Amino acid sequence: MVPWKSTVRCGVAAAALVLTAGAAVPAAADSGGPHRDPVAVGSGGAVSTVDPDATRAGMEVLRSGGNAVDAAVAAAAALGVTEPYSSGFGGGGYFVYYDAESGRVRTLDGRETAPAAMGEDAFLEDGEPIPFDEAVTSGLSVGAPGTPATWETAVRTWGTTPLSEVMRPAARLADRGFRVDRTFREQTAANADRFADFPATAELYLPGGAPPEVGSRLRNPDLAATYRAFGKRGTRVLDGAIGGDIARTAAEPPVAPGSERTVRPGLLTPDDVAGYTAVEREPAKVGYRGVDVYGMAPSSSGGSTVGEALNIMEEAAPGTDGGLRGAELRHTALEAGKLAFADRNAYVGDPAFSDVPLDTLLSPAFAAQRACEFAADSVLPAPVGPGDLDAGGECAEPGAAAAPAREGLSTTHLVAADRWGNVVSYTLSIEQTGGSGSTVPGRGFLLNNELTDFDFQVSDTGAGAANLPASGKRPRSSMAPTIVLRDGEPWLAVGSPGGATIITTVLQVLTERVDAGASLPDAVASPRTSQRNTEATEAEPDYLGGSEEKELTALGHSFTEVQSGEIGAVTALELLGRSRIQAVAEPERRGGGHAAVLRR
């Protein structure tokens, strides 16, 4: 274990170290791929993504005069080449943008939609939910992709560069190929069985029938052609052959002859694909210890749940920094997250289909009610029930608790800033690593399986109704791209993949930065825990066994090692003042990310 890890593993003992600026952050891990910088400080613009090629694509667009929106879309398109199992043209996501000219935060909901033919019982058979694994690798779970409309809308509304130029670096990268790194090979190997069942996927990602070697070059000329067509014609390509191919692949996923896998057909039609629109929404906003936190409103539960948890923390420990550090900070955040998750599971879904009480969930009065449950010296037995929407700030008996949701652990997050002061925080996904497993033949991208984020049925306690499938509906997400303003100016941008752990990761990075005063690189690198209204709190191995864990266990918390070994993969940035930007990526998780600035 590197010395840095042992110093940060226990928050209380390590608090002093965590507070010292970035110095404790190690060099990037050896990924087997191109060079990576977890931190870059400079001016003129910045991009941070999980991947060096994608960061470079964004930087190229900034360098040729594009703004942060153009750079974010260019980087996202490049991720479709180099991180195709986490996001891409066949998926969806949420785009949060600070527009310097108007001083406003704008958001785009580019979440996939259910086919028009999808009903409430789509994932039931004889009244019982179908096996989750069968939903994961199916046509049934494929929603109409929202990413093409997100890219087009963002670039044409807020960007300054023609879409064709924004798509150019990614198209070139797809043509020339990228060097396979260890993370890519591992993700391919973990999916090799199901990829082998889809000839178009196997042809692309299992060259010669096996995962590509680390260091080999992987090309995707079909995707290059898709990107060039999209660059020229925008989402009009979805009205034509590409849209038709998406619908056909989802409706009848082309399976290898002799495959024994049950691959359920989907319901997507060319009209569903061509008719998709990205929705501009008012951001979910809360004030927290003197700063303003802007996140994604429903259909994502990201902004409402991070915001509610922050409000509860401020109720539990008022003041401009709350005085929270180490074990006390973690205890407060875990308990606030637990309470906020109960409300998320009970009340949040697509607002076009049910009345989502966003204003109540984000109100200080509701936080005061929820904080009645909180105690500084004991732990709430989970699962806790949701709050009473009508009780205002009065203490109220919680309702019946909902079952925890299942969600994938894939997805990707990126941030960008430019010299004009615009900032982007963008999370995008195809849901599970490798999405539905099915590649659109001849088009070079995987289809999402985002509709597995619906609740398949209402639970015994009555929860889940807000998130049942329906015609044209968006499944509830946890994606939480976030921008923080201080004194009305952008200060931080942060986000992460990780399914429902996205929310707790964003909460942890924000509170370590804002409450404990950790540097942003330290807040990103520090060991993560995730409490989502279950009895045990998931923790990364580096957290377990430290003195903070012991202190919290004595209080009544119980921790379990997270199965995948790590939680999330953050990218973030901080505006340091005097036009200086600090761009931050993971030093180690998922093989490390890459942060860059225009001028060092």
Residues near ligand GLU, by CB under 6 A? 407-411, 429, 431, 450, 453, 477-479, 497-499, 502
Handedness of CA 312, 313, 318, 320 (dihedral sign): negative
Phi, psi of 333, rounded to the nearest 5 degrees: -70, -40
> Would you say 547 is a known binding-site residue?
no
- In the block, tokens 């006390």 appear at 328
> Would you say 343 is a known binding-site residue?
no
Cα–Cα distance, 205 to 201 (Å, whole number): 6
Phi, psi of 361, rounded to the nearest 5 degrees: -60, -30
> Would you say 418 is a known binding-site residue?
no
Q: Which is nearer to ligand GLU, 123 or 374 (CB)?
A: 123
In the bound complex, what is the minimum distance in angstroms from residue 300's beta carbon to ligand GLU? 7
Residue 522: closest CA among 37, 19, 2, 5 = 19
In the bound complex, what is the minimum distance in angstroms from residue 304's beta carbon to ligand GLU? 13
In the bound complex, what is the minimum distance in angstroms from residue 516's beta carbon to ligand GLU? 26
What is the DSSP annotation of 9-51? SSHHHHHHHHHS-STTPPPPP--SSS---SEEEEEEEEEEESS
In the bound complex, what is the minimum distance in angstroms from residue 405's beta carbon to ligand GLU? 9
Q: Is 244 exposed, middle or buried (0-12, 13-18, 19+ CB in 10 A)?
A: middle
> Would you say 515 is a known binding-site residue?
no
43, β-bridge pairs:
599
Q: Which is nearer to ligand GLU, 409 or 552 (CB)?
A: 409
In the bound complex, what is the minimum distance in angstroms from residue 243's beta carbon to ligand GLU? 23
Which residues belong to the active site?
411
> Would you say 453 is a known binding-site residue?
yes
415, β-bridge pairs:
48, 425
In the bound complex, what is the minimum distance in angstroms from residue 593's beta carbon to ligand GLU? 15
Q: Quick one: DSSP state of residue 477?
A: B
Q: Which is nearer to ligand GLU, 235 or 411 (CB)?
A: 411
Residues whose CB is less than 8 angstroms from the CB of residue 422 and which lie 6 or more positions away in sequence, other chains included: 67, 68, 69, 97, 98, 99, 100, 158
How far apart are the two ends of the chain, measured CA to CA in Å?
Answer: 31
Q: Is 217 exposed, middle or buried (0-12, 13-18, 19+ CB in 10 A)?
A: exposed
Contact 40/596 with Cβ under 8 angstroms? yes
Residue 410: closest CA among 77, 33, 136 = 136
Which residue ranges are tagged as binding site for L-glutamate?
Answer: 111, 453, 477-478, 499
